[in-house]
Structure formats: C-alpha cells, structure tokens
C-alpha cells in the first residue's frame, strides 16, 4: 500500500498584531489535519517570525483527501500565565494538496475566528503530497504546558529547535526524493473520461517577465444585436434522437430509455470483430512457416491485420468495427492469408452468419473469444484454428476507440490511410510557466582588446526565445550588464556564457522576494554545459567572470496561449491556486452536413474530415471520416468548468496526410464554432446546426454545417454566482501586471510551445490546427476588422444617441403630449430629488423584464453582418490574406499605403477635435485669452452669488424648462454660451 503523507512546510509570517502588551508577540503555529496535530517552536518577541520547519501527516484514506482540510492557526504564548491568544488562521482545502513538484511557497492572509476578532498579517506555507517510503510521520513537540527555556535559548543562537526526525526530513526534501502518484477519486471515476497519459515535466514559457435521426426537424434562429446574418448563414435549432432520447425544447425526452453515458450523441451500431490469434497453421513448404495475416471482409469493406514472418502461431489481438448501416452482406468472412511478394495466397477462411451474432451492451463484460476451424477452398477444416470474438455494439463499447473502423476504408474496400493518422484522441497541453530573469550586473569581464571601450549587453535564450538587454558602455571592467560585446557594426563578440538548469530555479506563486545570485561565465557553450553536468564543481583558485542574476519561475500568472477574447481557461499555473470546479461541460459532436469538396479522388470531389475541440488544457480530436461529404462522428466528451466567462472552440479540418508519407501537406481549415459558457442555461441541452463560415480571397463562403449537442451542468449555483464578483485573472496579473507588448510576445511563444508539444503526439495535432484554434493572427491589420470594430463602437453608443435624439424631439415639442408629460415628470423629480435614483433603477428593471421576452434562445455564433464580411471589397480581402511581410508589388503596396494614410487621417482629425474641446476648457482659466478669462471669472462670481441666495432646486428647474422651451421662444442661431466656448483658443495654433 502506498505510504501517502501530507507535507507542510511552515516558512514564516509577517505583520502580525502584538499581544504581549509591549508591542510584540511570542508566536507559534499549530497545524491540524485529519485528527493529527503538530506545532512549531515558539518565536519570542517577533511579529515577523521565520520557522522553516517541516511536518508530515499520515493520510489514512487517500480517496478522502479532496474532502479534508488543513488548519494552520497562529497563537501568541504567554509564558507567565501559560495561556495562548489567537492571532489568525489559514484553512486549506483539497485544491491545495498538490504533488511536491507543483508545490510553491504561498503567503495566505490570516482569517478571523469571529466577526469581532482583530486580525492582520499573512502566513507562508508550502503544502504537498508525497509517497516517499523513507519519510515518516513527524514527532509532535511537547504540549505547551511543559515548554521549557530550551526554546528560548536555542532561538537566541538563531537555530531552529526541531526534532531529529524533522532534521532528517529536511535533508530528504533538499535531495528532492519526493514522488507522487495519482490518488483515487471516486467522482472522477464516475465521469468515465479518457484517462490522461503519463505525467510529464511542465514546459516553460520564457519571458521577462439507437434510432436514426434522419432529417431532424429544424427552425431558423435569428442572430443577435439586431444585425441578422443571411438565412443561409444562420443557426438552425434541431430536435435529434440522441442516446438519451429525443431533444425537444432543450430537454431530453427519455421515455423508457435508461440513462446512458453517450446521451448527447446518436447511437451508432457497429459490428465488432476481434481477431485474437491463430494456431497450427500449415507450413508453406518443408523449410519454413507462413507469413500470416488476417483479412476481415463484410461486403465491399475489408480490413487487414499486420503480418508476421515465419510464424505458425501468430497473435494479433486487433479489433475491426464495421458500421451496421453500411453492411451490404449477411455473411462475415475472415480470411487467413500468406504474405507474398507477388500474390498473397489464401490459407483458409471462417464464415459467420451475421443474423447469429449476439449484441453486447455495456457494462456487460467483454465477449469471450472462441476457436474456429479454418476451412480451405475445398471445404476441409485442416488448416488450423483462428480465435475470434464477434458481436454487435455501439460507440460506447470500450473496444471502439482502438478499433479499425469502416470509416477509414473507402467504398472500394481498400484502406486509405494509416490508422495512426485517423484515430480519435484526447490531448493535454502542457502547463506553462513564465521565467522571470532580472539581470543586475557583471564583474571582472575579460576583453581580447583591452584598449577598446566595452559596449556590452546580455542575451538570454530559452529554446528559440531570445531577449537582449540594453547595451552599457564602460571604460572599467565592471559594467552593469554584460555577456556579449559589440566590436563593430553587426559584429558581436561573446565574452562568456552560463547555463542555468530550470530544474534548479526557484518557483513562486506570488510576488515574494527572490534572492539573487552570482553565476560564473564560461568561454564556450560546451564548457558551460560541462559545468552543469558536473554540478559546477570548480577549482577554488580559478578566476571567473561573473554575472549577477535574479531568476524564478512565476506560477501565479495565467499563461496566455490563446486570444484574450476567447480564453478557455483563466487558472494560474500553480495548482495550489486552483479553485474547485463549478460545473461540467458536455459536448456531443454529431455530424457535419453539406461539406464542400476539398480534394479529388477517383474522379469525384470528396473530403477526409475530423473535428477538434479545445477547452482548457484538454484538446480532443475525433476520428477522421474518409471519403464523405456528410460525415457522422457521434463522439461525446466532457470537461470540468472553472469559470463561466470562458469559451469552447470546435473546429473542422480536412486531413491532408491521407495517402502521403512525408506529412508535408497542411490540414485545411473548414471552419470553427465558438461557444461562451456563460451564455448557456444550466441543465439545458442545446442542439443546433452551426454554419461553418470561412473568409476566402473571393469572399465569405459557407463550407458546411456542424451539428452539435451541448449541455452545461452546474454543481453549485452559489459558487458560480460568487465567481462573477471575483477578479477575471489571477492576482499576479494585478499585483505585477504585464504590459500589452509583453503579453503578445509571450502569447506567440506559448502557442509555439503548445504546438510543438501536441505535434509530438501520435497522431500529431499539427501546428496549423493549433494556430487556427488559438487565433494567432487576430492581431494583424485588416480593413474589414477595422470597419467592423468602428460599427461595433457606434452600436454601443446607439443608445445614448437615441436618448439624445428623443430629448431633442421633446425640446422641439414635436409630440406636445409627450413633452408635457416630461415637464411634469421633471418637475416631480426636481421637487423630490430622493425619487431620482429609485426611478432610474425601476426603469432599468422594467426594461430588463421587457427584454426577457426577446432573450436569445441559442448560443451566439459568427455573424457575417457584424463582421463586415458581406460588404468587404475584393482588394480588402486580398490585403487581409496577404502574408507578413507583404509579397505584393510596390505599386499595390503604395496604393494600399495611401489608402491607409487616408483612413488614419480621418482618425487623426477626430482625435484632434476631441483634444481641441478639452484645451478650450483649460483655456477658461489659463489667461491664454485675457478677455475671455476675465468674462468667465466675472460670470463665475455672479453665479456664486446667485446660487448662494437662490435655492438649488429652483436653478435646476429653470435650467430644465429653459432647455425644453417652445420653438417659438428659440433663436435659430447658436446660444451665447456655445458661441463663447467656440471662440476660446486651443493649442492648434502652436502645432506645426
């Protein structure tokens, strides 16, 4: 049995409240976990004590670990009265119990015992789980009643009085002998999610830092925001028959159907054939055995196992799945063949009647295989035996994911691709860290030419990420920054190199101070690498140039690897900061209809498509359907949701690796769908057909329709509501924020790291897929996007413009009855100002209730009208699809540059006009225009006297009635205050 322990390192506390009456406290920490209690030593007269003590608790039942809590309470101990006073506590739940490799020191704010407690300060803890058999449970210190002066005398010598066991454990932890295994979790087991692969080291991001649906009934759903797309581009709500029953109005009507794991997809029935092994196969000749393989045939479809050389008792253990709706025969034929260079010879076959094959429904145990005698072409059963298991099942069968399915076989019956290229898989992207490097100074640098002025800078590199500091010139050998020296234009000379293994870099999850250190510079990279391998054991008398650095792994940030507008995960890197999930997102990828051909095969247009879905760290890829313009996937996946303000992305791609060996072709984009979790009602099943829209150089095109079933289930509505008032990003983004330029650079590098890692899987998730799903090109210039954003901005202010227009109609008495009613309402609000705010909020409540009748009944989707894709010109499309840097001719580039200057000129004029109005306000009191300032000051003096003797309500009442006066009382020229303001000077006179 695994020896699981919970390790707790009490680092220190700071800014505690004094309790001894002399402005200080004698503090210690008491730890409670699963009925076990330990305490630290006492630190006398210290409001910022440092303990650095480790404790290990026994974990009696690892399956209960997520439900256990760790309490760390700080007390002040009064030695004269042997009493203790509460200074604060920290309570940690299961989300903080992570493996040692993920554990970092965190400073937690102290919590109160009750509302009247006066508490302040923070406590630094490092909490982790380990199963190292050499670690034993900690020995508790004596109870507080028997505390002697030993603690006090030991502390005077700056030593931590820990037991012998704790000393040994500290030594073990320094050697990093901790390991961690996945703990059993009953909740996760019930979800039946695909199990993740083996644990990997985190990549580091560098920076500074059963019924067919047929044709389901459907209806068109109009788009949002008053800008509907053309009907052909709109969503269609469907009512398909899924595994749980028919979906009507967002609810699954089960009838007598039992609950199913695959209740969001249509049941697809398959004929499964497991070819296990063979025995006593005949010899090919006197000297050798067969080179056997098995061919499974149903009608025109057939699949083959791998072949063995010179083997009479081969073992294959391969599974074939044939779609039942495509079966064109009532006989299953399993043929054993001998592999030959010229013509494969038939050894014998086994024929089975498909009407006699049983049906297996999970969770029934797998069907036991049977031995079948092999018949030769004469009907003689003398050619050995073949072990087979044959049954009918659905895609819920556990054999389905690893089976060779008929979708991978062309209608002609031949295999079109390697199975590794087309099978469905689940991928997990790596947890990325930010590496923060602070270059402080360098010492004792040696130059080849000492007479030349040093022009030095530091170049830092991780993988293909390179950053440089600014150069520093110095006549001494102690510049502030240096690794390389610029000896001439475009010519740099290396002064020294140092390699720092990231495994030795300290991790942090907050903005605590990290100690700096000196690093010796080597003359070559090989010497630097040799120093790392040898643990940097160097001669003491050897002279080194040195570099002063501060370096750490920042885990308190969320590493952005996708567009900030479509983030699917907002959690920080450090697992200790993760909160509990608020719900579960289930996605059923049903089918794609109306695909446009992407390639030609056997004289006809076809496609080999698969779908990719991304949410959080989990990527899923469906199997590739060969030679089909209406592929049916019916695969279901599940994700845990930690924040409703996140986006699920589903993309459709054409597999370009079919019938290719070098993998040089790119997988073509067909389209994608984005669904924001916060727009989904809890518990409702959304079944819509989403149009796949792609922007091509010839305009926007519909490439097909993706049919999805989506359900978001919430585990705690209170927690989800509470999350709406929490910061959007982790705390470090606000404590030590990254600027926009840094974020974009780091996001680009993060996408490259994720693409490289997923590209090493089998089958690989190719780079073009990762980049398309992550919207890497969203920051590039596009005239279409610029116009779309402008009209979005106008739409935002449309409400204010409508109010202003309505007020203008009221003041012009266009509708006299309305104007009179507005006068009465205005008079009432001025006389009773306490009714203003209640009236405003009541009005917004009524408007919200009125809009509830017109609320969206479907997730939002890409809108061609809002995107300005239906009004874009051919040249604008050509510019948007141009590469960066451009490949167009100079004449085209010059024309586009002139157009861009024209657009930018209008923006410049608008910005300048806004600045002019602000400068005129400043000119009122700046004496830039002495006469205008004098008149304004006299007006201010008169206004002050009038407002002093006149009730404020009267002033407001008269001003409102003046603005709403009848047109007969108005002058057609602008009012005097407007004329006065327009005559004020601005800084435009000083501009060149």
Q: Where are the domains of the chain?
A: 5-130, 269-406, 434-523+544-554, 575-776, 780-881
Phi and psi dihedrals of 154, rounded to 5?
-70, -35
**pLDDT more than 90, % of the chain:** 23
Query: From CA 470, how far away is CA 211, in angstroms rounded?
Result: 68
Helix (H) or strand (E) holding 108: strand 106-109
3-state DSSP assignment of residue 159? coil
Task: Say yes or no to pLDDT of 506 above 60.
Answer: yes
Q: Phi and psi at residue 227, in whole multiples of 5°?
A: -120, 85
What distances in angstroms separate CA 496 from CA 434, 439, 447, 522, 531, one per listed residue? 25, 15, 10, 5, 13
Q: What Rg value do the Cα atoms of the chain yield, rounded?
A: 37
pLDDT at 452 over 90: no
Q: Is 241 helix (H, G, I), strand (E, B) or coil?
A: strand
Q: What is the DSSP string of 9-46?
A: EEEEEESPPP-SSSS---EEEEEEETTEEEE---BTT-
**Given this model, what pLDDT does residue 206 score?**
31
Q: What is the pLDDT of residues 278-310, one digit of tens each?
A: 988 887 665 556 788 999 998 888 888 888 887
Mean of the per-residue pLDDT values for the chain?
A: 80
Write down the CATH number for the domain with range 575-776: 2.60.40.150
In this prediction, residue 253 carries a pLDDT of 64
Whether 917 has a pLDDT exceeding 80, the answer reads yes
CATH architecture of residue range(s) 269-406: Sandwich (2.60)
SS3 of residue 540 by DSSP: coil
Q: Tell me which long-range contacts 911-918 makes (C-beta under 8 A, separation of at least 24).
A: 912/988, 915/986, 915/987, 916/986, 916/988
Report how far residue 659's alpha carbon sits from residue 418's, in angstroms, rounded to the nearest whole number.
8
CA angle, 20 then 25 then 31, to 5°: 125
CATH architecture type of domain 5-130? Sandwich (2.60)
Report pLDDT for 724: 87
Mean pLDDT of 753-777: 89
Cα separation, 776 vs 780, whole angstroms? 9
Q: How high is the pLDDT of residue 167? A: 38
Q: Which of 107-111, 128-132, 271-275, 363-367 has the lowest mean pLDDT?
A: 363-367
pLDDT value at position 819? Answer: 85
Paired sense of beta strands 315-323 and 404-405, if any:
parallel
Q: Could you tell me the pLDDT band of residue 260, with boundaries at 50, 70 and 90? A: low
Q: State the Cα–Cα distance between residues 870 and 708, nearest whole angstrom.
A: 26
pLDDT band per the 50, 70, 90 thresholds, residue 664 = confident
Task: Write down the pLDDT at residue 77.
Answer: 92
Over 80: is that where the pLDDT of 647 sits? yes
Asked if domains 5-130 and 575-776 share a fold, the reply is yes
Arithmetic mean of pLDDT, 425-438: 90
Please report the pLDDT score of residue 146 as a whole number. 57
What pTM was computed for the model? 0.76
Q: Tell me: pLDDT of 712 over 70.
A: yes
pLDDT of residue 584: 94
């Amino acid at each position: 049995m695994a020896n699981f322990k919970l390790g707790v390192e009490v680092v220190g506390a700071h800014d505690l409240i004094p309790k001894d009456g002399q402005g200080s406290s004698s503090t210690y920490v008491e730890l409670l976990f699963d009925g076990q209690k330990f305490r630290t030593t006492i630190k006398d007269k210290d409001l910022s004590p440092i303990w650095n003590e480790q404790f290990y608790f026994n974990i009696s039942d690892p399956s209960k670990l997520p439900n256990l809590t760790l309490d760390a309470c700080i007390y002040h101990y009064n030695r004269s009265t042997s009493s203790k006073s509460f200074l604060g506590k920290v309570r940690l739940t299961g989300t903080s119990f992570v493996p040692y490799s993920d554990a970092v020191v965190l400073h937690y704010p102290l919590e109160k015992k009750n509302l009247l407690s006066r508490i302040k300060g923070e406590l630094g803890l490092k909490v982790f789980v380990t199963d190292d058999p050499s670690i034993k449970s900690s020995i508790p210190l004596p109870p507080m009643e028997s505390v002697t002066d030993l603690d006090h005398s030991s502390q005077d010598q700056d030593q931590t009085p820990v037991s012998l066991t704790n000393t040994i454990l500290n030594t073990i932890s320094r050697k990093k002998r901790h390991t961690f295994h996945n703990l059993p979790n009953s909740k996760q087991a019930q979800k039946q999610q695909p199990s993740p692969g083996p644990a990997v080291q985190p990549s580091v991001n560098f920076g500074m830092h059963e019924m067919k649906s047929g044709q389901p009934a459907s209806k068109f759903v109009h788009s949002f925001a008053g800008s509907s797309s053309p009907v052909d581009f709109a969503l269609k709500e469907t009512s398909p028959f899924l595994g749980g029953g028919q979906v009507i109005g967002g609810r699954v009507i089960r009838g007598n159907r039992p609950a199913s794991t695959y209740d969001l997809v249509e049941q697809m029935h398959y004929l499964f054939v497991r070819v296990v092994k063979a025995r006593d196969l005949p010899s090919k000749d006197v000297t050798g055995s067969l080179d056997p393989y098995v061919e499974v045939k149903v009608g025109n479809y057939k699949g083959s196992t791998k072949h063995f050389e010179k083997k009479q008792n081969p073992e294959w253990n391969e599974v074939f799945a044939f779609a039942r709706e495509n079966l064109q025969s009532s006989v299953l034929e399993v043929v054993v063949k001998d592999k030959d260079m010229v013509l494969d010879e038939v050894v014998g076959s086994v024929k089975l009647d498909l009407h006699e094959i049983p049906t297996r429904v999970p969770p029934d145990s797998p069907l036991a295989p049977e031995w079948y005698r092999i018949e030769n072409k004469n009907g003689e059963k003398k050619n050995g035996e073949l072990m087979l298991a044959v049954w009918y099942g659905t895609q819920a069968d556990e054999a389905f994911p690893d089976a060779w399915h008929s979708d991978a076989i062309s209608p002609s019956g031949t295999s079109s691709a390697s199975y590794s290229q087309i099978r469905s898989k689940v991928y997990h992207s790596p947890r990325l860290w930010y590496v923060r490097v602070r270059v402080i100074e360098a010492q004792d640098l040696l130059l080849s030419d000492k007479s030349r002025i040093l022009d030095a800078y530091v170049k830092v590199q991780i993988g293909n990420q390179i950053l440089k500091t600014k150069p520093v010139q110095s006549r001494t050998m102690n510049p502030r920054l240096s690794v390389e020296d610029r000896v001439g234009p475009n010519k740099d000379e290396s002064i020294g190199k140092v390699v720092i293994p990231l495994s030795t870099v300290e991790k942090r999850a907050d903005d605590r101070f990290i100690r700096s250190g000196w690093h010796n510079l080597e003359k070559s990279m090989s010497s630097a690498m040799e120093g790392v391998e040898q643990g940097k054991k160097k001669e003491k008398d050897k002279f080194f140039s040195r570099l002063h650095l501060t370096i750490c792994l920042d885990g308190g940030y969320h590493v952005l690897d996708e567009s900030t507008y479509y983030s699917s995960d907002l959690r920080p890197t450090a697992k200790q900061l993760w909160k509990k999930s608020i719900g579960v997102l289930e996605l059923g990828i049903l089918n794609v209809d109306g695909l446009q051909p992407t390639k030609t095969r056997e004289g006809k247009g076809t496609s080999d498509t698969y779908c990719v879905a991304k949410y959080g760290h989990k990527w899923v890829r469906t199997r590739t359907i060969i030679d089909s313009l209406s592929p049916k996937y019916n695969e279901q996946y599940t994700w845990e949701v930690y924040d409703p303000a996140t986006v699920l992305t589903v993309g459709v791609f054409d597999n370009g690796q079919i019938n290719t060996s070098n993998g040089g072709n790119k997988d073509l984009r067909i389209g994608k769908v984005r669904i924001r979790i916060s727009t989904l009602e809890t518990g409702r099943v959304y079944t819509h057909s989403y149009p796949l829209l792609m922007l091509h150089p010839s305009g926007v095109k519909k490439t097909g329709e993706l049919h999805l079933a989506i359900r978001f289930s919430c585990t705690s509505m209170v927690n989800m509501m509470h999350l709406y008032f929490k910061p959007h990003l982790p705390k470090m983004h606000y404590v030590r924020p990254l600027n926009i330029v840094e974020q974009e650079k780091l996001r680009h590098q993060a996408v490259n790291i994720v693409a490289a890692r997923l590209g090493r899987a089998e089958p690989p998730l190719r780079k073009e897929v990762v980049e398309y799903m992550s919207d890497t090109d969203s920051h590039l210039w596009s005239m279409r996007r610029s116009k779309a954003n402008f009209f979005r901005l106008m739409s935002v202010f449309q409400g204010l413009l409508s109010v202003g227009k309505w007020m203008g109609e009221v003041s012009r008495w266009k509708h006299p009855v309305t104007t009179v009613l507005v006068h009465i309402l205005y008079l009432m609000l001025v006389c009773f100002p306490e009714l203003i705010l209640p009236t405003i909020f009541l009005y917004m409540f009524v408007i919200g209730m009125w809009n509830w009748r017109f609320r969206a009944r479907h997730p939002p989707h890409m809108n061609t009208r809002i995107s300005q894709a239906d009004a874009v010109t051919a040249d604008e499309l050509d510019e948007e699809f141009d590469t960066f840097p451009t490949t167009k001719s100079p004449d085209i580039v010059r024309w586009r540059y002139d157009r861009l200057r024209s657009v930018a000129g209008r923006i410049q004029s608008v910005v300048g006009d806004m600045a002019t109005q602000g400068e005129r306000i400043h000119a009122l009191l700046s004496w830039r225009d002495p006469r205008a300032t004098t008149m304004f000051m006299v007006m201010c003096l008169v206004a002050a006297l009038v407002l002093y003797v006149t009730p404020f309500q009267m002033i407001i009442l008269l001003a409102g009635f003046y603005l709403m006066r009848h047109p007969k009382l108005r002058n057609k020229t602008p009012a005097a205050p407007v004329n006065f303001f327009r005559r004020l000077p601005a800084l435009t006179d000083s501009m060149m």
